[in-house]
Amino acid sequence: MNRGFGSDNHSPVHPWLFESLNQVNHHHAPSYGTDEFTLKAILKIRSVFDWKDLQVLFVFNGTAANVLALKTLCQSYQSVLVSDVSHLNVDECAAPEMVGRVKLIPLPSKQGKLQLKDLKQALIRRGDQHFSQVAGISITQPTELGTVYSPEELQEICRWAQAQGLFVHVDGARLHNALSFLKLSPADLFNKYQVDALSLGGTKNGFLFGEAVLFKKEHPEALYYRKQITQLPSKTRYIAAQFLAYYERQLFHEIAEHQHQLAQLLEKGLIERGICPEYPVQSNAVFVKLEPQWIKEIRKSHFFYVWDEHTKVCRLMMSWDSKVEDISSFLSQIDSLQGGLR
Amino acid sequence: MNRGFGSDNHSPVHPWLFESLNQVNHHHAPSYGTDEFTLKAILKIRSVFDWKDLQVLFVFNGTAANVLALKTLCQSYQSVLVSDVSHLNVDECAAPEMVGRVKLIPLPSKQGKLQLKDLKQALIRRGDQHFSQVAGISITQPTELGTVYSPEELQEICRWAQAQGLFVHVDGARLHNALSFLKLSPADLFNKYQVDALSLGGTKNGFLFGEAVLFKKEHPEALYYRKQITQLPSKTRYIAAQFLAYYERQLFHEIAEHQHQLAQLLEKGLIERGICPEYPVQSNAVFVKLEPQWIKEIRKSHFFYVWDEHTKVCRLMMSWDSKVEDISSFLSQIDSLQGGLR
Amino acid sequence: MNRGFGSDNHSPVHPWLFESLNQVNHHHAPSYGTDEFTLKAILKIRSVFDWKDLQVLFVFNGTAANVLALKTLCQSYQSVLVSDVSHLNVDECAAPEMVGRVKLIPLPSKQGKLQLKDLKQALIRRGDQHFSQVAGISITQPTELGTVYSPEELQEICRWAQAQGLFVHVDGARLHNALSFLKLSPADLFNKYQVDALSLGGTKNGFLFGEAVLFKKEHPEALYYRKQITQLPSKTRYIAAQFLAYYERQLFHEIAEHQHQLAQLLEKGLIERGICPEYPVQSNAVFVKLEPQWIKEIRKSHFFYVWDEHTKVCRLMMSWDSKVEDISSFLSQIDSLQGGLR
Amino acid sequence: MNRGFGSDNHSPVHPWLFESLNQVNHHHAPSYGTDEFTLKAILKIRSVFDWKDLQVLFVFNGTAANVLALKTLCQSYQSVLVSDVSHLNVDECAAPEMVGRVKLIPLPSKQGKLQLKDLKQALIRRGDQHFSQVAGISITQPTELGTVYSPEELQEICRWAQAQGLFVHVDGARLHNALSFLKLSPADLFNKYQVDALSLGGTKNGFLFGEAVLFKKEHPEALYYRKQITQLPSKTRYIAAQFLAYYERQLFHEIAEHQHQLAQLLEKGLIERGICPEYPVQSNAVFVKLEPQWIKEIRKSHFFYVWDEHTKVCRLMMSWDSKVEDISSFLSQIDSLQGGLR
């Protein structure tokens, strides 16, 4: 399959990450997270996020990270406020409810982002035994629409949540794209914004597989929940090794920057051609409405997904291995199609 | 960490399997099981097990495979008969009940194996709304104690189950060790014994990660359940590639044979030293009772687990990379300790 | 506590229903739904709803009836479209998700009623393993806001649902209020609208306790689910007896008519005083916005609930024992308060 | 149906309890446990059990009481040790696992009673993330086999449990039968034995319906769990009234004494006829093995259940309304059948 814009999980494993797998592939290592590489990776992550009490739990994939985070922070009579377009709400086949056993309360979003006024309005009936009690908020950064909460928005939401006794979870499947765009340090998350839990993505950032759940405080029961939701990896060293390389070799930064530059290039090219993306391009995704016949044509050479069946808004996703020539070639095809229209 | 007998998931990835990862690590591939390698691996597995309608679902690990199999075959008002020492019952932190939402009925076992008479006795109160209805049986082959159901035992249990309308699930985390010992073909499972579902292990057979659930008939809902239990792999090609190599390069057979030979060597050496293993050595595990002070001493150079805190029975597990010299060195240490006793 | 407008579950048991309890309170009767009164009540209900294959299951309360209906009609990878103000969504402390193990998709409602256009828009991503699959619709008749779906609205929704292969569940905690208002026969539900399941209320219609789930087709597993969700009544005869009296003595009609007349009387009185109810008064509830200081004052003598903390909309609920004088007295108090304002 | 020995839930409601329903059947009362009768009943129960901090939650039935107790005391990664013949394990259609989301570990029992040595042996792998962690013990008093833990047995188990940090739950569906037999005061339960939770039965003691969960300490979340498991009664006053009458009018004692006397009479009569009950008769049940042809014959006039399909052990259960003449008539029938054998 040609390189396309289908998803940042369509690309192969980044060579440095693949190399990291090879480097730990010798000797025996104890399983289930008790090996030396896992310990090293945890220490590295604590250092990157500058929070020494951070509990770090490796899991296989992003849905699991989200579910483990919420299951640990909530009881079954509690609920979590989420964006109506969040991965938790629409892309996890009800895993949060059925496996995480937490009710989600989807709220309207603006460019994928939760609005403080909606959060406030949803915080009702506290102490009413008939109503699943709101225990926290989950925000996606960057959002599923490629937009990014600004530092002010983050601050405002986190402060309000903390004042109300609500936890804040961040779904950061592509976290470093947002941090890079905002010029924020990872250390801000736990220090400045005081978030309680983070789903930290690997899979969509060039990993073979692997994500992590980061809790600000230690939750001893999270170890059992990880096992129970079937997400305790046997050979944890192979996830740990990738996280180590990702942070030690500055890949997190390099990949995010590269993807954002390409996304901007595409955005610019589209605007020049009179096609305006649906949302501000703030990470590695460009959402754009395309003619149905164009979609069919372009997808033959540059695969991508139609995001909304009704509106024909399409998602064009940059990967670590996306190239300037992919953008040029895509835009050329637009040119031809526009020419054909005249 | 030195090579030891801790577990067959302590060893590194087999070089041929690691190579298979590298071979698919290029170009883009669609995610979530829709790539060409996944299709090839499915076809290969169907051919190995000689069952053309086989539904094959890749997942990350063994607990997930078991949970997905049972969740698909059962409703929440149904239960499954299992051995009291089964992985399902004692090593999955209640994932079958909480995520698979099926009740387990643990039965006494003999050398890890379910006995037909106990199964018969447990099949009670059919149609009684107060009693969780028995829907099937799960057998582990080889068992957690390294023993193997004989073809006659398998036949007897499967026939009885089918006559009673019960499904048969096989937990085959180390399946090929059993098949190899019994000189059975994988094709027998679905053709001769008519089992309904198989958890087919990769992780404990030299894989970096990856298992499969095999259903005799297609269950369309299993796709949704896989996603819901957080086990839909994004980059499925990396699991598929390993299964392809495992079967195309006859690794399944080679590893099983190698492990069994070493286990027998160890068994023989122990018997010669007057130490009789607890169970017949029929796969890659040797269970043996050791003196507490020996345990402490030997584990320094050859790591292994004490299986039963009370009886001090220890488990010595062969891996694909175990060597004859590991056995010799272990036995020498026994010799020294026995000498020291005199 | 004085008679008020708090809820139709604040009133005592209707004397005829209480009498029915006494009438079966002799001799032994087998438990768990196998007694003669239960059989009689089932036959009576089948006759009232004119559907001979109706499966009738008695349970203790309304939340249970809803949960049992949805649990029986759905698998855990499926979801149900509901109104955002539905009892299922906001008054059952996530029982549908946690015990019924079904995802709810709340849709905006108009006067409490689901709109066909919203239902259509929500029916997306069919066959997509990442998305909990919509399996059905639950409508509340009358709604939580006291409004009633018209026959045309019902027809439209039911036909569309059936064309799409979706089930239709009706939460009928106060069903006969709606039927009475619409001059519809109970027989229309299963015959004309072809609904698949009905939660049929008793508690809010003068019963001591007791509800029923009615399925158009028999679902043998529903018996087990009822027991599992802890809702199999031991002494079922006492629920059955009430349903028998309710239908044999035409109480269902009498209570509904009485309540509606009083609600209309109140509506009329309010309008005459320049206070317009929030929604059309179509059953036994009147929703009206009242001044905060009035609320405090009036609740001393006529208890009622503030429905919306933000808007101060209040709910005034008629019971089987509500009296014309309760309305007069309530309106007089309004008069005094309005006088006091001048 | 004639009076028989089928179950203590086959009998009608005790007249004093029925009367109590009538006594509260006037005026409006707030719902969901906020009425004055509920408060009074809670105070009465606190006084009977002599524990002022007792949290008392009324529910509809016994399965619900058990599930609510365990759900409140356990997390989903924890398990509870129970007798293999316990109602929790074999008569609740997996409600404890599926709704209470707790794993049960069934242990062998002696005359229905858990043995300390088995409890000790089952308390393994504490802190092992693969193993569902034992959090408590549930004992049934009297047991499902009509036997009673002695004060010494209770003491021994409770002390051990407390020393190990395990909670103790008592399933007391027929509690006062045991207390009466042992001449123990209800106050001993929380004061002397320090049990953490009690399922206190009403249904099997002459109530129309209604049970209570009693927690030694307050668990605020239990209110939400009660609602979520569909067990928050609307018209709680009708459960409260029965508990008030049960305790104020000493019915708990009277019924227990009466039932035990009759059970002893039956035991004596059977022994005189050479038929030895299977277990000591210590409450209101007599278990006895009967000839298959006798069973058929006797059940025509005195209904009872065959408890074990294989062994033909039958359960003969006394109710509050059982009479001396029922015993005489049953024994006469035995005489005739024995005569017929000669």
C205 CA: distance to closest CA in chain A (Å): 20
Name C58's bridge partners: C212
Instruction: Give the Cα separation of C50 and C41 in Å (integer).
Output: 14
Taking CB atoms and an 8 Å cutoff, what residues of chain D touch B132? 93-94
pLDDT tens digits for D183-209? 999 999 999 999 999 999 999 999 999
> Could you say which of A32, A129, A132 has the minimum Cβ distance to residue D232?
A129
Complex prediction ipTM:
0.97
What was the pLDDT predicted at B138? Answer: 98
CB-count exposure of residue A117 (10 Å: 0-12, 13-18, 19+): exposed
Taking CB atoms and an 8 Å cutoff, what residues of chain A touch D130? 32, 227, 232
What was the pLDDT predicted at C341? Answer: 56
Instruction: Give the Cα separation of C195 and B341 in Å (integer).
Output: 81
Taking the Cβ of residue C83 and every Cβ of chain A, the question of whether any pair is shorter than 8 Å is answered with: no
Contact B168, B157 (CB under 8 A): yes
Taking CB atoms and an 8 Å cutoff, what residues of chain C touch A97? 97-98, 101, 103
CA C167 to chain CA mean position, Å: 18
Enumerate neighbours of C (3 or more CB pairs within 8 A).
Answer: A, B, D
Taking CB atoms and an 8 Å cutoff, what residues of chain C touch B32? 129-130
Instruction: Give the Cα separation of A105 and A102 in Å (integer).
Output: 10
Contacts of B296 (CB under 8 A, 6+ apart): none
Contacts of B184 (CB under 8 A, 6+ apart): B151, B178
Instruction: Give the Cα separation of B283 and B182 in Å (integer).
Output: 10
Instruction: Give the Cα separation of A174 and A146 in Å (integer).
Output: 10
Asked if the Cβ–Cβ distance from A231 to B230 is below 8 Å, we say: yes
Token pair recorded at residue C238: 């006492």
What was the pLDDT predicted at D24? Answer: 98
Asked if the Cβ–Cβ distance from B93 to D130 is below 8 Å, we say: yes
* Exposure of A176 in the CB half-sphere (CA atoms within 13 A): 23
> Could you say which of C130, C133, C224 has the minimum Cβ distance to residue B129?
C224
What was the pLDDT predicted at C1? Answer: 78
Contact B2, B303 (CB under 8 A): yes
Q: DSSP states of B168-193 as a string?
A: EEEEETTHHHHHHHHT--THHHHHTS
Asked if the Cβ–Cβ distance from A1 to B30 is below 8 Å, we say: yes
Query: Pairing between strand B285-289 and B211-215?
Result: unpaired
DSSP assignment letter at B119:
H
What number of C-beta contacts closer than 8 Å exist between B and C? 42
**Which residue type, as a one-letter code, is found at position A331?**
L
Selection from D71, D50, D68 nearest residue D59 by Cα: D68
DSSP assignment letter at A82:
E
Tell me which residues of chain B have a pLDDT lower than 70: 340-342
Taking CB atoms and an 8 Å cutoff, what residues of chain B touch D309? 124-125
> 3-state class of C223 per DSSP?
helix
CA of A103: which chain C residue's CA is closest? C94
CB atoms within 10 A of CB D269: 18
What was the pLDDT predicted at C286? Answer: 98
D111 CA: distance to closest CA in chain C (Å): 26
Domains and CATH numbers, chain A: 15-251 (3.40.640.10), 252-338 (3.90.1150.10)
Instruction: Give the Cα separation of C270 and C289 in Å (integer).
Output: 11
What was the pLDDT predicted at A246? Answer: 98
Query: Which B positions 186-215 lie with beta carbon below 8 A of chain A?
Result: 203-204, 208-209
Asked if the Cβ–Cβ distance from A94 to C103 is below 8 Å, we say: yes
CA of D127: which chain B residue's CA is closest? B93
Instruction: Give the Cα separation of C306 and C287 in Å (integer).
Output: 9
C342 CA: distance to closest CA in chain D (Å): 34
Taking CB atoms and an 8 Å cutoff, what residues of chain D touch B93? 77, 129-132
What was the pLDDT predicted at A2? Answer: 84
What was the pLDDT predicted at B95? Answer: 98
CA of B64: which chain A residue's CA is closest? A230
Taking the Cβ of residue B94 and every Cβ of chain D, the question of whether any pair is shorter than 8 Å is answered with: yes
Taking CB atoms and an 8 Å cutoff, what residues of chain D touch B131? 90-91, 93
The mean pLDDT of A198-214, rounded to a whole number, is 98
pLDDT tens digits for A288-312? 999 999 999 999 999 999 999 889 9
Q: Using 50, 70 and 90 to split pLDDT, how confident is the model at D342? A: low
| Preceding omega of C142 cis (within 30 degrees of 0) | yes
Greatest alpha-carbon pair distance for chain C in Å reads: 66
Taking the Cβ of residue A224 and every Cβ of chain C, the question of whether any pair is shorter than 8 Å is answered with: no
Instruction: Give the Cα separation of A48 and A46 in Å (integer).
Output: 6
Contact B208, A238 (CB under 8 A): yes
pLDDT tens digits for B108-117? 999 999 999 9
Q: Using 50, 70 and 90 to split pLDDT, how confident is the model at A166? A: very high
Taking CB atoms and an 8 Å cutoff, what residues of chain D touch A70? none
Asked if the Cβ–Cβ distance from D230 to C4 is below 8 Å, we say: no
Instruction: Give the Cα separation of C223 and C235 in Å (integer).
Output: 16
What number of C-beta contacts closer than 8 Å exist between A and C? 51
Indicate whether this model's pTM tops 0.90: yes
Instruction: Give the Cα separation of D305 and B280 in Å (integer).
Output: 45
> 3-state class of B58 per DSSP?
strand
Share of chain C above pLDDT 90, in %: 97
Taking the Cβ of residue A230 and every Cβ of chain B, the question of whether any pair is shorter than 8 Å is answered with: yes
Taking the Cβ of residue D29 and every Cβ of chain C, the question of whether any pair is shorter than 8 Å is answered with: yes
pLDDT tens digits for A231-252? 999 999 999 999 999 999 999 9
C33 CA: distance to closest CA in chain B (Å): 11
What string of H, E and C letters represents the secondary structure of D134-165? EEEEEEECCCCCCCCCCHHHHHHHHHHHHHCC
Instruction: Give the Cα separation of C209 and D230 in Å (integer).
Output: 13
Taking CB atoms and an 8 Å cutoff, what residues of chain B touch D103? 94, 97-98
Share of chain D above pLDDT 90, in %: 97
Taking the Cβ of residue C6 and every Cβ of chain D, the question of whether any pair is shorter than 8 Å is answered with: yes
Tell me which residues of chain C have a pLDDT lower than 70: 340-342
Asked if the Cβ–Cβ distance from D103 to B98 is below 8 Å, we say: yes
Taking the Cβ of residue C98 and every Cβ of chain A, the question of whether any pair is shorter than 8 Å is answered with: yes
Taking CB atoms and an 8 Å cutoff, what residues of chain C touch D318? none
The owner of tokens 């309010």 is C270
Instruction: Give the Cα separation of C75 and C71 in Å (integer).
Output: 7
Instruction: Give the Cα separation of A333 and A327 in Å (integer).
Output: 10
Taking CB atoms and an 8 Å cutoff, what residues of chain D touch C10? 28-31
**pLDDT, chain C, mean:** 97
